[in-house]
Chains A and B, each alone.
Chain A
Amino acid sequence: MSAGVTIEFSSLTKTFGQVQAVSDLSFTVEPGQVTGFLGPNGAGKTTTLRMLLGLVRPTSGSATFGGTAYRDLPSPLATVGSALEAASFHPGRSAANHLRIYAQSAGIDRERVQLVLHRVGLGAYGDRRVGGYSLGMRQRLGLAFALLGDPRVLVLDEPINGLDPEGIKWIRLLLRELADEGRTVLISSHLLSEVQQSVDEVVIVSHGRLIHRGSLASLDQSEQKQVIVDATDRQVLAAALEAAGYTVSPLRGGVLVADAEAADVGRIAFAAGIAVTALSQKRVGLEESFLHLVGEEGAL
C-alpha cells in the first residue's frame, strides 16, 4: 500500500435551479481514519459525494483526491472505491457478472471478482441474479464493487442502511480494518448513532453547509455535565443539593443534578448525612449534541 490519499473539498458549491444544495463546502479527509460525513436527509451529502466522484458537476469549487479530480485519475477504481446509496444493479444480471463488467472496464484482474465477493460474504451467491438479493445483500454487493480495485480511498454513502445487526457489526470491523491499513475512509450517514462506534472524525453538514468538523470527542460537550444521584429519602437529598446552590429535577430513578461533578454531589450528601444509593456522572449524549448542531430537522 502506497502513501495515503487525502480527500480535499474546496469551496464546493452546487445549485439546482434556485436551490443551493451544497454551499461553499471546504474540508479535508485524512487517511488512516474513518471519517463520518453526517447530516440530516436532504443536507446535501449525496450530492457532495457525487461531485467528488465526477458524477455531478459542481457549480463552483472542487473536490479532489490529493489534488487530482476523479475523472483525471489514471485508474479510478484502483484509487477510489465507492458505494452510493442508489441500488445500481441490473436485476437480471448475476453479482459476479456485475462486478466482472466493471473490472473489465477498469482493467482490474478478473480474480478480484471472486475475492471481493468472498470478502463481503457473498462468495456462495455470486452466480445468483441480483434481482433476488435482499437489501442487505445488495449493500454488500455495493461494498464489493467499492473494494474491487483494492483502492486506497473508500467513499461509502449510507453503507449501514439496510444491514441487520450482524451486518452492522461486520461492517464496523471492516471499516476499522481498512482505516488501519492506512486507507482513507469516508462514510455518510444521517444518524450519528449508526456510525458513532465506527468513526474517528466527523464532518457535519446541514442545508448544504459545513457546521462542524472535528474528532468524535469534540462533539462531546463536556462543559455540560450532569449527575444522577439517588438516596432512600429523595426529598432530603434534593433539599440538601438545592441548599448548596444546584438545580435539581426529579427522575424516575433518582435526582438529576445539572452542571455538577459527581465528587461534589457525593461530598454534599455525605456532609448532610445522607446515604447515597446511586451516584453517576452523565454526559450530554453525542446524539443530543449532534441534533442540537443540525437543528430541528435533524430529529427525523
Chain B
Amino acid sequence: MSSFGGALQSEVTKITSTRLWWILAIIMVAYVAVCAGGAAALFGGLGDATNGPSISGESLAPLIYSFGPTLGYVFAVLLGALATTNEFRHQTLTPTFLATPRRGRVLVAKLVALTGAGALYGVLAMVAAVGAGAGLLLAFGIDPQLGDPDTWALVGRSVLAMALWSAIGVGLGVLVPSQVAAIVIVLAFTQFIEPILRLASSIADWTAQIGQFLPGAASDALVGASFFALAGGGGGTMLEWWQGGLVLLGIAVLVSVLGWFTSWRRDVT
C-alpha cells in the first residue's frame, strides 16, 4: 500500500542517496565557521582599540551566533529548491508519481522531509557559528554567554528559521521548475535584491512597515539578532519573532500552493 509514511520515507531517501546534501552542508559549515570566527576575532580583538568598531560585550555573542541563519539560510533554500528542481530536471517525477499517484501527498511529504533537512542544516550551522564564535570570544576573554538561556533560545529560533527556509526552497522549486532559473532567483534575491530593498525601505516609516515583511527581515526578526539589522539601519522596525516565523511559513505555503497550480498538477510528459 502506498501511504504518507512511505512517501515521506522515500523523500528522505531521495535526499540522503545523492552527494548534494553533505557537500552543501560542508560548504555551509565552513563558511559560517570562518565568518563567525572571523567576526568574533575582529570585534573581540579590536573591541578595546579606539579606532575599531565597537559593539558592547553583551550583544556581541548573539550577533555572532546569528551568522548561522543569516549566512546559512541560502544553503537551506538551495537544498530545498534543488530537491524539487532535480525531479523536473532528471524526470524522476515520472517514477515518483507512478509510485504515489496522489501528487498532493508527494508535495506535502517533500515539504516535511526538506523542513527536517533544513532543521538539520540549522543545527549544523549553529554548531559552526557557536563553536567558532564562542571559541574565539573566549580566546579574547569575552563571555560567550553560553550559560544564558537567551542564547539557547536564539539557537532554537535559528534552527526553526533554517527549517522554514528549506521549505520555502521546495515551494520555489515547484513554482520555478527550471533548475538554473531557480538557482539564479535564489542567489539574486537573497544576495542582491532583498538587501537593496531592505535598505531602501528604511527611508520612510511607511516603507519600513512594508520592509519588515521581506523574507530576510522576517527571518532576522525570528532569529532575534542580525548584523544586517545593525549595519543596515533597517532594524528600527522589526516584527516580533513569532510574527517573523509566521511570515516565513506563509511564504513557504504560498509558493507551494502557487507551484501546485502552475507545475505540480500538470501533465508529466
Task: Please give the residue numbers on chain A whose beta carbons come within 8 Å of chain B beta carbons, in ascending order.
Answer: 46-47, 50, 53-57, 70-71, 73-77, 82, 84, 86-94, 97-98, 100-102, 104-107, 145
Please determine whether A90 and B13 come into contact, CB atoms closer than 8 angstroms: no
- Chain B residues with CB under 8 A of A71: 101-102
- Chain A residues with CB under 8 A of B50: none
Please determine whether A101 and B10 come into contact, CB atoms closer than 8 angstroms: yes
Please determine whether B100 and A93 come into contact, CB atoms closer than 8 angstroms: no
Chain A, residue nearest B12 (CB): A104
Q: A13 CB to closest chain B CB, in angstroms? A: 14
Q: A288 CB to closest chain B CB, in angstroms? A: 33
Please determine whether B2 and A50 come into contact, CB atoms closer than 8 angstroms: no
Please determine whether A56 and B268 come into contact, CB atoms closer than 8 angstroms: yes
- Chain B residues with CB under 8 A of A82: 98
- Chain B residues with CB under 8 A of A54: 97-98, 101
Please determine whether B99 and A105 come into contact, CB atoms closer than 8 angstroms: yes
Please, how many angstroms separate the alpha-carbon atoms of A73 and B19 in the complex?
A: 34
Q: List 30 A-B contacts (CB under 8 A).
A: A47-B269, A50-B267, A50-B268, A50-B269, A55-B97, A55-B267, A55-B269, A56-B268, A56-B269, A57-B267, A71-B102, A75-B1, A82-B98, A88-B91, A88-B92, A88-B94, A91-B90, A92-B19, A92-B20, A98-B17, A100-B13, A102-B95, A102-B98, A104-B6, A104-B9, A105-B2, A106-B6, A106-B99, A107-B1, A145-B95
Please, how many angstroms separate the alpha-carbon atoms of A102 and B99 in the complex?
A: 6
Extra 6 A-B pairs, beta carbons < 8 Å, given A50-B267, A88-B90, A89-B92? A76-B101, A82-B98, A84-B94, A89-B90, A97-B13, A105-B99
Please, how many angstroms separate the alpha-carbon atoms of A287 and B99 in the complex?
A: 37
Q: Does B86 sit at the interface, judged by CB under 8 A?
A: yes
Please determine whether A76 and B99 come into contact, CB atoms closer than 8 angstroms: yes
- Chain B residues with CB under 8 A of A100: 13, 17
User: Would you list the 6 A-B pairs with minimal beta carbon distance, nearest first?
Assistant: A105-B10, A71-B101, A97-B17, A104-B10, A56-B267, A55-B268
Chain A, residue nearest B14 (CB): A101
Q: B173 CB to closest chain A CB, in angstroms? A: 14
Task: Please give the residue numbers on chain B whose beta carbons come within 8 Å of chain A beta carbons, in ascending order.
Answer: 1-3, 6-7, 9-10, 13-14, 17-20, 86, 90-102, 106, 267-269
Chain A, residue nearest B267 (CB): A56
Please, how many angstroms separate the alpha-carbon atoms of A32 and B7 in the complex?
A: 32
Q: B90 CB to closest chain A CB, in angstroms? A: 5
Chain A, residue nearest B9 (CB): A104
- Chain B residues with CB under 8 A of A102: 10, 95-96, 98-99
Please, how many angstroms separate the alpha-carbon atoms of A100 and B10 in the complex?
A: 8
Please determine whether B1 and A92 come into contact, CB atoms closer than 8 angstroms: no
- Chain B residues with CB under 8 A of A53: 98
Please, how many angstroms separate the alpha-carbon atoms of A66 and B178 in the complex?
A: 37
